[in-house]
Structure 1
Amino acid sequence: MGNENSTLIDPDTPTKTLKDRSLRAVADQIRNGGGKRIVVLTGAGISTAAGIPDFRSPKTGLYHNLARLNLPHAEAVFEISYFRENPYPFYMLAKELYPGKFHPTISHAFIGLLAKRKLLRMLFTQNIDCLERRAGVPGDLIVEAHGSFATQRCIDCKTEFPDDEMPAYVEKGQPPRCKQKGCGGLVKPDIVFFGEQLPSTFFDNRDVPSESDLVLILGTSLTVHPFASLPDMTREVTPRVLFNKERVGTLGHRADDVICLGDCDSGVRKLADELGWRDELERLWRGMVGDEEADRQMQQANVEREMDNEMERLVQGVADKLDISGPQADEDLTANDDGQAGITKEAPTVAAPEEAAGTGSAEKDTKEDSQEKVTSEEAGKGGLPAKDPLSDRGDAAAVAGTETPSGGSSSTPQEIKPKVEDAPKPTASVDAASEQSKGPAASHVMKT
């Protein structure tokens, strides 16, 4: 448990628990009683459809909008030492993110439905938006690994501040002071700042994934530790299902890993279809958010999918013009017996025009090799890394909810069966905004 091979699983490797590596098999497992203790892990990608702005995107990200405050650096807004000196930038940010301004997505509603059906063992979330609670997930089943806005306390004496008084202060962008006699310290929501310990509930429940019979991972880069270690705490025979725009972490290394690339909501709808829950899920979700908000989220998702698809078409067009698409193109869209998408070969690395212009005869010699090359950009969805990102001590936690969805894959969910290759080394310091500007990364796994 937790010791992964350095390569992705061979697509011909038989599964140990599931019938095959597909959402249909996952649904069968749940229906047949093999999914009674489901653990869910979520990151910021589950909340972007709700309209919560990301942190790092140029011009629109929250960090960009905080530049006018003359912070020493953008991340200072989440540093406890800077908060003591100047709490106002954080409270301006809190005003933008405070619960009540945003509505759950259908992915949040799906987790709520798992809880309603008594199938949810535990939800671990990196987010601070409390949308899981609004979706009906009981508080005792939620581990908010990076804290949340749900509670607040004095940073000095740790006395809790009244819940009913906090919203008025946040709305004014005014930091409240501790009411304890003789204290008067600054009050901060129970969000984990740099230099603070993760909540004890995280460490108290860290072994829960090892007791699960199914793990669902939604919208996270898995670059911020110790949260990123949770999927590897599961047993080898426990199926792990990833709903994300890119393959992350060690997902794809095990025989029962199912990878569904695309936006979380589309992937969740597909699983709900396989389970026969789709109508119930849609009714539950629309009842939470209302038809107007539901329609807005779906329309926005359609726009983003079309933008991602257009970017892919542009990149493919460049590859075609440079004549590097390779002879395997006819194999790209085969189908298996289940009607799932078939094998897709990876696109090779595209050379910059100025590099391609002077290759001469060398291009002929290297063309065949280039067809076998793949790029593997593991953009980490922009999560704000801990200062010691590979540490597992929990004493340098990153702030939850600061990840942004990477743009490296089509938003249309596609279950994939990984091929054998060297696993990319995750780096917690990748800035998703800069990675997105490069366009989508080439596919580096096979689709099923």
Structure 2
Amino acid sequence: MPGPFVVPVHGDIELPKEVDCIVIGGGIVGVSTALELAESGLRVALCEKGGIGQEQSSRNWGWVRISRRDPREIPLMAEALRLWTSLSARTGRDTGYARAGIIFTCANDKQYEQYKSWRRHLEGYQLESQMIGATQLRDLLPGSNLDAKGALYTPADGRAEPQKAAPAIAEAARERGASILTECAVRGVETTNGAVSGVVTERGFIACNAVVLAGGAWSNLFCGTLSLDLPQLKAMNTVFRTTPVENGPEQAVWGKNFSIRKRQDGGYTIASTNNSAVDIVPSSFRYALDFLPAWKTEWRSLSFRLGSRFVEEARMPSRWAMDEASPFEYCRVLDPKPSNKISQCALLDARKAFPVLDKAMIAQRWAGYIDVTPDALPVISAVDAIPGFYVATGFSGHGFGLGPAAGKLMADIVTGRSPIVDPTNFRWSRFSDGTKVAPVSGF
């Protein structure tokens, strides 16, 4: 069975002739933006080339965390934590959210001090987070065999179900008046006098004066059709779920070589913490210098590989006519092949740390492409070169937790109202205004 099972969302049959804003992309950021805009009274259409939440929004770990965030993301994530607590009630559907806490173990004294130093970024947020020693860690996780000096423990963090969240938000947006159009790829944006005036979809034209691109790993390709250069690459992460386990940890745990998160079905979602695959593709050379600071920081956890993906992307057209099928119609869902080796290694390490998992079996594996920017920060911004065009992408593996707040911030920017947080760090122009674009290291 390819990919995880996602709660199905049936798209609307009728294509609206005109709306105020079109959201491109049905991941958690796109649907959250659509919900916020619809609740603001705007006429909204969300266009998704495949199904709602079928790509990375359903393939991630399901962590809803503020702990170990890039400090520049903390204000937005603090808002996200607030929004997640009421999201199931707001949508009238189960998102699987639970405030269960997250534990980041420390392998040595140096890492312990790094995490301890990071905690200062939470000052003033009134969010429970603390450093605990090895003895406290064992008391918190009875029966565990974690080899750690201590841990950063944040009870304010939580978990949710990636296969449920985006569909729940999409259905809520539809109930507020938004059109949800699945298997409806947007081929391009039309402009009049340089400003957005509509989009051409595979099913026809929709007039609008605002477009939000929330296209995840596809955003770079789409931006290119508008002569916009978005520095973005992809990293692939393998994830698997286990059969149900009794008496396992309630908290999500980041171990030395694995991560673990309890699921609603009683099993666990597990992944490797130090092995993401990066396919070498033509864009790798184009953006090599942009990403050099990030590669230097993260090289130990990345496996660069040259394979069929290079040829696939080399053959992919970068421009096409509006009356021709686009690449988005030839690939409805990015569904990369997961690594059995990585899965088995992560399961073995998880079993060593938690003997209760000895009888757990791998029920399903999948992989997903993470859309990455050079500074590992998202773009949540207007694009000044094209009035009416906005971008919410590049979440670099942090999008699921940030999703509801990212959607709210994007809606604030579109409507011109006071933003929930200062969006300066997420501006589009940081790639060209002389700003040093690099990830924050040391945590």
TM-score, with length taken from structure 1: 0.23
TM-score, with length taken from structure 2: 0.23
